[in-house]
Structure formats: C-alpha cells, structure tokens
Amino acid sequence: MSILESLTLPAPLKEIALKVLAGNRISPEEAVELYESNNLSALGLLAGSVKRRHSRDYVYFNKNFHIEPTNICINHCKFCSYRRNPGQKGAWECSIEEMVEMVERNLLKGATEVHIVGGVHPDRDVRFYADLLRAVREKAPGAHIKAFTAVEIDQMCKMGNLTVEEGLRMLKEAGLESMPGGGAEIFDETLRAEICPDKTDSAGWLQIHATAHRMGIPTNATMLYGLKENYHHRVDHLSRLRHLQDQTGGFNAFIPLKFRKANNLYSSRKETTVVEDLKNYAVARIFLDNIPHLKAYWPMIGKQVAQLSLFFGVDDLDGTIDDSTRIYSMAGAEEQNPSASTAELVEMIRTAGFRPAERDTLYNILATF
C-alpha cells in the first residue's frame, strides 16, 4: 500500500499530498493549508517521504560544545531570558584565555565542532572575535569552528568600521568555517519591530547570510515560533529562506526554535503544544524542499519530543552539547543541564527505527551505528 492509499484526505489535501510524493514544490498557500490541517499522521508521513529523499534512513548528530562569550547585549529582545546589562547580576563576559580553556577541556572529550554564539557585546568589535578565532584554531586545529549569528556579525563589523564582506573575510581568515542560524526570529517586519525592535532587520539578516554563502561560508537558518505569529507569518518566513536557498544553496539546515516563556516579558503567554511543535517540523520539512537537513534542537524541546520529531521529517538531533549552553535553560527549556552522550543519542535514534550517523559540521558521515 502506498502512503497516499493509507490516508483518507479531503480533496485539497490530497492534491498537495500528490505533489509532495511526486517530489514537486508546494506553494505558500498550500503550506498554510497544511498548517491548518489537523491530520497530524498525514503530515508526518509526507514529511517523512521528503526526509528520506534527502537523507534516506539516517539521523545525524555530532560531538559539539558551545562557547557563549557573553550575555551582555546591546539589543533588547522582549522574548529573551538571557540578556544582561554590564555589571548586572548574572552577567558574564569571558576572556579569550577563559574560552581557550573551555576548548581544551572539551577537546579531551572528543568534540569535533566548536559552536560560538552569545550576546552582542557593546565593546567587542570584529577584531576581538578574529583574535578569539585564531586562539581557538591554534588550540584546536582539527575542530570545525561554527561561530556568530548574523546579528553579532552585523554589529561587530559596524563597530570595526568594516563592511560585512570585509568583516567576514577577516573572520574566515582567522578560522571561521560556518555560521549558525540564530537571530532570524520571525521575518515579518511588523512583528519583528514589536518583539525585537533594535535587532538587525529581516533584510539585513538575509543579506548577511547571502554574503556568507557567496564567500563560501555555509550557514544554518532558524525561525522563532510560538510567540505572536500566525501561520501566514511562518510561511512568509519559510518562503524567504527558500528563495535565498534557490539563489545561493548555502543553507545546511533549518532549525525551528520554540518560544520559551520563563524569565522574559512574555512570561504570561502559553507555550505551543507538542502537537503544534510536531506539525511545525513537518510543514517546514515539506516546504523547504531545497534545504537538505531539518534539526530538532533537543536542549530546547527535550529529548522525548526530539525523538518524536524524527517521525515528522527531522533528520538531525544536533549534538552532545555537554552542558555548555545556557540560552534556553535560562528561558525554562526542558533540559536544564543539556548534555547527551553518544550512546544516548544513538539509542534515541535507533529505538525510533532510524540509522544513527555521527557527522561533522558539514554532514559528512564519520561513523554509523
């Protein structure tokens, strides 16, 4: 029995399903229809068919750790639970020496990726971060350095009186190999002006990633969901990403980021349900036909939901993390001390019926289990 034969669908959804199963692109309007559907099993089956075209039965993870240089930040995002002012209780700003010590500790545990992201510090420009990259590269010549959101790069280049291209060239020469996808939040300009009014705007975020792609720096992409957006806002966001990927091919993975309400200005709002989380993964996998990987960031949604997401198009569980990030734990995420062993990730993947694959940052397979 084919996937389509196993589903009882109304005519409009059946037409969309036929397009998806034939490997054809769906329209933004059809993506909204999928979001509005309550047929979660159908969405999972369709997303799974797209996932298999990209990565067969593999689900990926890597051995990584995070460095968060500072949570002191010039921006005032209303959903942020992480930001602090200089001198405020709970603020930190690590020196380059302290961050190199973090690298040294984690290399002993077999990490292959250094992930560097944090607040937008008011006094550290692109030259400081180039020095940091050089120090990390010297200590860990074999590790991949994935560092700095577009928002961080925008500000550090302005402070250094350099264009984004000039700043990225300096960072690349210092050791930058790829970029994470944070800071995208939601691209709708009206919503963005409300929830993160002083952050790099949507066009700026997209242009910085386009510049990185043109320079041979692959990146990821994210979307903050579950705050104040509707389905049309989500599809608009996904459409802009899909359009840029058509032009550059530079996105490796898309990561939906669930709004968490603890310790921020939106703490009275309800968070999305697990059903809504899974629906969001499925529609993203179906719509973003040109971005090869869909990641469930388990420190944000918890390991159980991350495992469930594998049935809704997800093919990447991020990495071992080793309790090295505080961004989501400070916002009330499920995993307050995020750390996972290789054995634990392998078991999560295998018991869901998929084939575990340890990868490097660029999705080259290092080992299968």
What pLDDT, on the 0 to 100 scale, is given for residue 109?
Answer: 82
Helices (H), 22-163: 28-36, 40-55, 96-107, 126-139, 150-159
In this predicted model, what pLDDT tens digit does every residue of 130-149 receive, in sequence order?
999 999 999 999 999 999 99
Q: Which of 36, 63, 71 is nearest to 235 (CA)?
A: 36
In this predicted model, what pLDDT tens digit does every residue of 92-104 receive, in sequence order?
999 999 999 999 9
pTM of the model: 0.94
What pLDDT, on the 0 to 100 scale, is given for residue 334?
Answer: 54
In this model, does residue 220 exceed pLDDT 90?
A: yes
Half-sphere exposure of 240 (CA within 13 A, CB side): 22
Dist CA 108 CA 8 (whole Å) = 53
CATH number, domain containing residue 123: 3.20.20.70
Mean pLDDT for 199-216 is: 98
Could you tell me the two tokens for 109? 């545990």
In this predicted model, what pLDDT tens digit does every residue of 264-300 receive, in sequence order?
899 999 999 999 999 999 999 999 999 999 999 988 8
In the structure, what pLDDT confidence band is assigned to residue 263 with cuts at 50, 70 and 90?
A: confident
Q: Which position has the higher pLDDT, 2 or 241?
A: 241
Cβ-Cβ contacts under 8 Å for 364 (sequence gap 6 or more) = none
Percent of the chain exceeding pLDDT 70 equals: 93
Average pLDDT over the chain, rounded to whole?
93
**Containing structural domain, residue 103:** 4-368
What pLDDT, on the 0 to 100 scale, is given for residue 254?
Answer: 98
Count of domains in the chain?
1
Half-sphere exposure of 257 (CA within 13 A, CB side): 21
Residue 85 DSSP one-character state? -
Mean pLDDT for 63-74 is: 94
Dist CA 43 CA 301 (whole Å) = 20
What pLDDT, on the 0 to 100 scale, is given for residue 4?
Answer: 62
**In this structure, what are the phi and psi dihedrals at residue 2, rounded to the nearest 5 degrees?**
-75, 165
What pLDDT, on the 0 to 100 scale, is given for residue 337?
Answer: 54
* Class of residue 59 by CB neighbours under 10 A (exposed 0-12, middle 13-18, buried 19+): buried
User: Which three-class secondary structure state does DSSP give residue 67?
Assistant: strand
Could you tell me the two tokens for 158? 């302005």
Q: Which position has the higher pLDDT, 314 or 66?
A: 314
What pLDDT, on the 0 to 100 scale, is given for residue 35?
Answer: 98
Dist CA 202 CA 140 (whole Å) = 34
Mean pLDDT for 240-251 is: 98
What pLDDT, on the 0 to 100 scale, is given for residue 110?
Answer: 86
Let me know how long the chain is: 369
What pLDDT, on the 0 to 100 scale, is given for residue 45?
Answer: 95
The answer to whether residues 149 and 170 touch, using CB atoms and an 8 Å cutoff, is: no
In this model, does residue 333 exceed pLDDT 60?
A: no
Percent of the chain exceeding pLDDT 90 equals: 83
Helix H or strand E encompassing 208: helix 202-214
What pLDDT, on the 0 to 100 scale, is given for residue 269?
Answer: 94
Could you tell me the two tokens for 283? 């529609």
Mean pLDDT for 8-14 is: 85
